[in-house]
Structure 1
Amino acid sequence: MRTGYAVGGDDGCIADARHRAAAFLDQAAHDHHLPVSAHARYLTQLVVSELVTNARKYAPVPALMELRITASTVEVVVWDSDPSIPAPRATDPRRIGGHGLEIVKAAAERFEIQKEQAGKRITARVALTDAPGGAPHRSTN
């Protein structure tokens, strides 16, 4: 299961992307009977929000967002036309802002950035279910 969206540059595009991600997960749960925990839904919306915010902030619009379901994860893929590869900053609890990639890396089971012929593609994978005890599953890779 997959879907894609063009993300515009208007003020509501980030909220719209979050709503689309939630609806996509709802559809996966309903139509395909996939278990999607409330925590996975929350983390997916958080990852979408951070990646779309960065694309809107640093790259010319539009950006593209694709959502894909595997057996155990949802992949959030955001493409933008800015060729520069972002680097997470060193942790600094006094810094205001600039924590988006840190948040995505903490929330995602896997995270990768690929340079494209035009721009870059960022992929974050979020586990659909929680491990025993309520924590999200973590990959050992």
Structure 2
Amino acid sequence: MDESSGMVGGERAGGCPPLETSLELDGDGSRIAQARHVAAAFLSKVKDPQGIPVVTAVVEVVQLIVSELVTNARKHAPGPARLRLRVMGAVLRVEIWDSNPVLPSAKAADPARIGQHGLEIVTALAQTLTIEQTVVGKRITADIPLGAAPAPSPL
């Protein structure tokens, strides 16, 4: 596991670099709880000293999105994965990269289906969701506004 946080590349309002952190994930499914903790700790860091408005409901939504994305990466990708969290103005960008090139798709809503709702949940909670293939694997990116709890989308 490699966890880093700091200011890297680009510019935020006021000429400050964006804040980001990342977590390297191996094949061990126990990293899901750690990823949720990293997300909450990161949002606490940007909220307090940086003065970025982050409401409690947003922290909970981000933890759920991180949990779903990391769970899917660990479940469906044979190799390593990487979680990256980055503040971009008033938005938190959550990126998960994994080594499986197969792009996921949300299943049609079915309240009787047990499981396989992760991508539906992320789609409903994120402001935007992007899924793209990379040279090796894929990257899923979810943007979440920091100032207010996201309004749930109809599933």
User: TM-score normalised to the size of structure 2?
Assistant: 0.83
CA RMSD of aligned residues (A): 1.3
Equivalent residue in structure 1 for 2:88, among 59, 70, 83:
70
Change (3 A) 1:31 1:61: farther
- What does residue 5 of structure 2 align with? none
TM superposition shift of 1:9? 2.4
Corresponding position: 1:17 with 2:35: yes
- What does residue 136 of structure 1 align with? 150
**Aligned partners of 1:13 and 1:69: how far apart in 2?**
22
Provide structure 1 residue ranges, at least 5 long, that are not aligned to the other structure: none
**Higher RCO structure, 1 or 2 (CA under 8 Å, sep 6+):** 1
TM superposition shift of 1:71? 1.4
TM superposition shift of 1:12? 2.0
Corresponding position: 1:3 with 2:21: yes
Q: For the Cα contact (< 8 Å) 2:126–2:144, is it kept in 1?
A: yes
Q: For the Cα contact (< 8 Å) 1:65–1:76, is it kept in 2?
A: yes
Equivalent residue in structure 1 for 2:124, among 106, 114, 131:
106
Question: Which amino acid in structure 2 is aligned with residue 56 of structure 1?
Answer: R
1:96 is paired with a residue of what secondary structure? coil
2:123 is paired with a residue of what secondary structure? helix
User: TM-score normalised to the size of structure 1?
Assistant: 0.91
TM superposition shift of 1:137? 6.2
Q: For the Cα contact (< 8 Å) 2:29–2:74, is it kept in 1?
A: no
**Aligned partners of 1:78 and 1:14: how far apart in 2?**
12
Percent identical pairs in the alignment equals 47
TM superposition shift of 1:123? 0.2
Q: For the Cα contact (< 8 Å) 1:109–1:137, is it kept in 2?
A: no
Equivalent residue in structure 2 for 1:79, among 75, 87, 97:
97
Deviation per residue, 1:21-64 (Å, 9 max, x gap): 00000000112110001111011000000000000000013200
TM superposition shift of 1:10? 2.1
Provide structure 2 residue ranges, at least 5 long, that are not aligned to the other structure: 1-18
Q: For the Cα contact (< 8 Å) 1:129–1:136, is it kept in 2?
A: no
